[in-house]
Structure 1
């Protein structure tokens, strides 16, 4: 019988997509009678054999094991089952010799890490979950002490939908404490790239699911396999009732060995969690003597702690624990010469740790994985979809909340938003958003993003229609309306539809509100664009003056307020560069440091530099470059009136193999550290390579901006959908596209559109408004039509401190008449400020990230405003009870 299918047989290697043409032929099938006595005897012998081999010649226990094993062989006669009892007696006597009280204790937990998508699509994962969990449930039925940890609410929801009978059995064993939901998140997401609000929603949707389905709230964050961990995660965990953290992946770091297995992890705001990395450096152990000995020997915190976790069971593609694994571990429960091994649970382990943590060390800041840093750039369309959909859902939730508060007939689209958020959260799985997946998964992810865009646009339109009291049908009495979904006033140039054409206008917009027929303002200094005799172009808007050469490079960029040149002499800004990109290990995952030695500037002209718009409110120049015979760049450089940054709208046709495209901005700034935006804040990383820890950060990640500043002056690079970047010395580099060939041979091949900007500034980046400009760069003003009789302008929320960002406004999950607001301190400062609102608010409560009120007493809310206090990078959630 011949068959084919998703059997994990990759094309050319293990980390490869399935070969659809691979044929397997079943030649023989046999039935066998399971002999329990022989099975148990073999497990006994295996344990003794491994002890004799692994304990070492200086350990008398190894010789005792060898002697007993030899006796067993001599006594056993496979043709005489009557000898088995005597042989078992020998092994049982040896294994029953107990440990001393000081022996190290290993908490063994059944585990089945299942990638929600990787070398297989989402659909196959549903079947993997069912197959693996059926095995686990069967082991629970036969072994009342067997425990099994299971994360990812999404996978449980899949099984609930597709295998309700199995799900009912799972719920029974959850009550018995054997099937243990862990983690508290919707999926085991990437730890770097999701936004702060997305990370909150991972916990919110996950914890609500576990509470509704099992009556529990997870107390530990379970993220064994991801490619680094944001320094904001400890605060987000604490805000969701989680103070414990488990992972394993940092043992993969290529350069430096992380110095701890059990420690306090401290986030950028000072929040702390108790972290444990299983010292065996695996989340898929087999329960062998060798693994248990390694778990003890490898533990870098011996003396501070006397216990560790061992996660056993086939993982990645599923499978989980087997009866044989459980049998091995049972024999090591309390055997002299081996660590004590107990079938345990996360709460039992962490509770034991928490009895005394006084000797533990602390690690402050991000947990940076010194490997897999190509995942910040691979599969650019997935990353673009993630950023755009995060921003779209932000707008839909805010405008729907405003409509709900203003219009009692408006129905908040709770169910549709939940569905769209869960699609987005699923795509943030740690092999999807990073791009380390096969083409079938990429197709699924892009289809989900398109669903979010399509459905989100409809929901956005409905919210705007309700808020502006407009109609979906065109009317001659309707006028231009401009909507600002960000929490600060904005002055920007926008395109206005007029008589079938478009013209430019500049408007001042209130925070988080709208204006109908807003009054146009004239710029203090119009943009000028001048072609020089040498073919170069100069652009000037009174804030910036840029000189662009014939291949689109900045030969000069001057901040006019201080007459400071930004580009060093004989250097070029906006310099595209190509690198050879052939990693040592895994294509989609890694970019090695030696790629930096292959730098080649892109300077071949495809289309010459020309002016598309010669100024006024907007100046535009355009050019094209030839990357290779197959790949091209076409770019517009845009300078707008009153705008503090120079924008680069970029189109790339990309048909490369094992190449890496970046853009560089050398600067006249000198600083030993650069600053990068992360979730709800920022952190600094060195611009030098003094130590191996510094050197390992040759490619790092950021969100919307990075900044290099000295006292009084700096330069920021903003972007709309990129994450990979670096700053070495005085050069800011933004990573644009990669071309890996495994596990997806088509990765990134095709057409790409993206934008970035350079923003010189006086003072600190905080005081210069880099954070606000990066938000505005990514989230343009919205334009629509509204009745000319409608209220001409309206603002829903204002925050009086520029340091505090109002990040999200949404309907509360469990209270239909309440809104949830999420704010955070973005500068790294201690500040008190006022939040003002025009919405009909009755009471205001502080709440945690799961939207549970922190107190029965509301905050003082008078004159439509409430006073709030922040410490550096503090995330604060409010529950606003509406007057209905």
Structure 2
């Protein structure tokens, strides 16, 4: 059979703003309903819950008409997600939320349980997606990119398998999701010749798309004519789910692909820094808001604002639409995004603030020099904390104490006194924070008279962990000596800001690598030591390239093995790319890049690769007397998604500056007057973590997660000793907890975690707020959800899906009561 899939792919924003897309969704839907009245056998497929919500709000009568056609089986819902997002950039949890909110919407409004994932226009698909699809009760997946010329697959239909063994039946239909009336006949004939190679059935898409449109009368009439031909297979108007149901009995013969479905547009992972920074920050803030609001309800009775959190997630999910988050839309789209995401951040920050106050007794206004510091991650950590201390009179020094009265060494890096306003003293210190919990501190005046640190020019600097040497001519780090492991980390000078020629479009169409280096930033001044105290040393390197300037601030810590970098760049270049490069002194190395809810090894050949919070190069270090040892270096970031590794050099892509939303074959010769991306100022944090052995032994996933989850500080009104608490802790170190939330049913609670290092493990979760401990096995690379039910003072827990439904074949969850101290 040839399954003809009538569709109208709609970009919810791209070369137009979302309001125009909404109008096109309404217009296309009305046209489709007219065609259904004219052609009783015509079937239409449409995805994206956000677009259906537009119709529901703007034209309830049209929405009801669609509901009727859905019940008749002629309007078929596919995808089950809120939008068709980019399928590399969002974090792993975002894909589960795409399904959670999308599938629940379709089930609530239409009574339809969507089983087929559908991202026909996205630019690539990460390798953990089969697990996330099955975790969200989906069995199939339809995609078009990468094209056959970009990724060779064994057939149009195959089993797609994730690293944990989860698999879905996937299909890359031939040709394209947009098919003109003139091309339909030829496509049907070509597909018919190869149909036996594809288990006897094939899907063919037709209809006008991108700006909506959908099937036309000419489309449908052409297909009807082809249906009359005796030399062709049976041709039917249908939908993807029916196609998969047809071939599933024969699917045992299909090949298995355990790989990413990449690459289509490698440049888009570094295009438009602002939208990507928004995405990373709001993902983490939303996950924290869920955790702390759930804890607040359990401890104080303050109800979780479930609907407000849901709306915030839906706004973030909408802006993960592939043409928005990838950075390939017009400037007006990003102006709209900035406004919507700013409003969302205000709402999320309000939820966090109110929940922390209810949970801990903190206050949002200054009363005394007492604080609680809240750790958003579910494991104990040591982190640098900064506070501003205020005294009414003139005070020059501070003593910091914890609840036991133990003095905490502090570093004073700013003092301001005004006779009318008092003293403001900025301090930093290394705090040991409990797992997903808080710790209290108080500041009191101190008699000690500590002189201000005086800046000085340096060529080297040493801590207990590292000895750094700088080139005074160019400001690069010449050497990083790891004292503990006796390793010279760099093969050549590092922290180099590399400028590359980048004449390509915003997508990076047809580009595999960016290697055309045309220069680098040059030192503008001296390498300057700005601070050196009890918490950290701060080194400043100013540099310039063309009309652009950069300030790199390097932080070396007394208590942390990280080397942190804060880059402020004022970028004034066009059609160029900026990377930061670290050549690592290794042989026989391999490169690993974080992917959503996982990681992937890729060839270290210099191709531009998508990544999440970290990338790593690990291999063999050859020391003196040819002594070899296993060693590696991880490069973390707080807002970037692209990079490359070649010849043991890691390069994180900081930015690209192509023309907005112009495909390269449509670019004019003269670019004067066109708008270029990433012009002006931006900030990024990145961090280097040298480590013995591989990244797994260094627990880099946790380190990168914490790097993106800074502690939150609040003034404390009550007793200091009551401020210290751990509300949730997860072990062992190869497991990361991402979710603790109120279930969508408004009654139960959801925990979600994943195994990060490829090891069979037994997970232990302590929940003092429930007075319980949960134990359950987790398998290598597995994402696992737990549904906790409360009945009076008794709690039970079962393994659940991402849709928050108990799993019939889930593993046993051991729940043990624990005594509160």
**Distance of aligned partners of 1:324 and 1:462 in 2 relative to their CA distance in 1, 3 Å threshold:** same
1:356 aligns with 2:250: yes
Matched residue, 1:778 = 708
**How does 1:148-159 map onto structure 2 within 5 Å?**
148-159=44-55
Matched residue, 1:379 = 272
**How does 1:194-593 map onto structure 2 within 5 Å?**
194-251=90-147, 253-254=149-150, 256-286=151-181, 288-297=184-193, 299=194, 302-369=196-263, 371-408=264-301, 410-476=302-368, 479-499=370-390, 500-517=424-441, 536-550=458-472, 551-568=474-491, 571-583=492-504, 586-590=505-509, 592-593=511-512
Structure 1: unaligned runs, 5 residues or longer? 1-104, 521-528, 689-696, 866-884
- SS of 1:608's equivalent in the other structure is coil
What per-residue deviation string (whole Å, max 9, x for no partner) do you get for residues 656-704 of structure 1?
211011111001122352111111121100114xxxxxxxx71001101
Deviation at 1:302, TM superposition (A): 4.1
1:624 aligns with 2:542: yes
Q: Are the aligned partners of 2:370 and 2:443 in contact in 1 as well (CA < 8 Å)?
A: no
What per-residue deviation string (whole Å, max 9, x for no partner) do you get for residues 561-581 of structure 1?
11100111xx21101111111
Task: State TM-score, norm by structure 1.
Answer: 0.80
Give the one of 818, 843, 846 matched to 2:799: 846
- SS of 1:365's equivalent in the other structure is coil
Deviation at 1:363, TM superposition (A): 0.9
- SS of 1:216's equivalent in the other structure is coil
Aligned partners of 1:530 and 1:266: how far apart in 2?
58
**Distance of aligned partners of 1:594 and 1:373 in 2 relative to their CA distance in 1, 3 Å threshold:** closer
Deviation at 1:281, TM superposition (A): 3.6
What per-residue deviation string (whole Å, max 9, x for no partner) do you get for residues 269-325 of structure 1?
11111011112344445362112123345x5x8435121111111000110011121
What per-residue deviation string (whole Å, max 9, x for no partner) do you get for residues 477-523 of structure 1?
x7210110101111122112222221112111110011122899xxx
- SS of 2:335's equivalent in the other structure is helix
Q: Are the aligned partners of 1:285 and 1:311 in contact in 2 as well (CA < 8 Å)?
A: no
What per-residue deviation string (whole Å, max 9, x for no partner) do you get for residues 792-829 of structure 1?
31111112211111111111001x23211111101111
Task: State TM-score, norm by structure 2.
Answer: 0.86
Give the one of 656, 678, 689 matched to 1:738: 656
Deviation at 1:615, TM superposition (A): 3.7
Matched residue, 2:562 = 645
- SS of 1:432's equivalent in the other structure is helix
Matched residue, 1:6 = none
Matched residue, 1:604 = 522
More strand by share: 2
**How does 1:13-24 map onto structure 2 within 5 Å?**
none
Paired residues, number: 730
Q: In terms of Rg, which structure is larger? A: 1
**Distance of aligned partners of 1:607 and 1:259 in 2 relative to their CA distance in 1, 3 Å threshold:** farther
Deviation at 1:777, TM superposition (A): 1.4
Q: Are the aligned partners of 2:364 and 2:714 in contact in 1 as well (CA < 8 Å)?
A: no
Is the deviation greater in 652-661 or in 610-619?
610-619
Aligned partners of 1:295 and 1:248: how far apart in 2?
16
Give the one of 733, 736, 752 matched to 1:805: 736
Deviation at 1:179, TM superposition (A): 0.6
Matched residue, 1:94 = none
Deviation at 1:853, TM superposition (A): 1.4
What per-residue deviation string (whole Å, max 9, x for no partner) do you get for residues 578-630 of structure 1?
111113xx44443734741x2134142333321111343110111211121x2
**Distance of aligned partners of 1:730 and 1:519 in 2 relative to their CA distance in 1, 3 Å threshold:** farther
**Distance of aligned partners of 1:174 and 1:518 in 2 relative to their CA distance in 1, 3 Å threshold:** farther
Give the one of 5, 12, 17 matched to 1:116: 12
**Distance of aligned partners of 1:472 and 1:736 in 2 relative to their CA distance in 1, 3 Å threshold:** closer
- What is the root-mean-square deviation of aligned Cα atoms in Å? 2.1
Q: Are the aligned partners of 1:766 and 1:827 in contact in 2 as well (CA < 8 Å)?
A: yes
Q: Are the aligned partners of 2:282 and 2:316 in contact in 1 as well (CA < 8 Å)?
A: yes
Deviation at 1:472, TM superposition (A): 3.9
Deviation at 1:474, TM superposition (A): 3.4
Q: Are the aligned partners of 1:846 and 1:859 in contact in 2 as well (CA < 8 Å)?
A: yes
Deviation at 1:544, TM superposition (A): 2.0
Structure 2: unaligned runs, 5 residues or longer? 391-423, 445-452, 621-629, 663-674, 773-794
**Distance of aligned partners of 1:856 and 1:828 in 2 relative to their CA distance in 1, 3 Å threshold:** closer
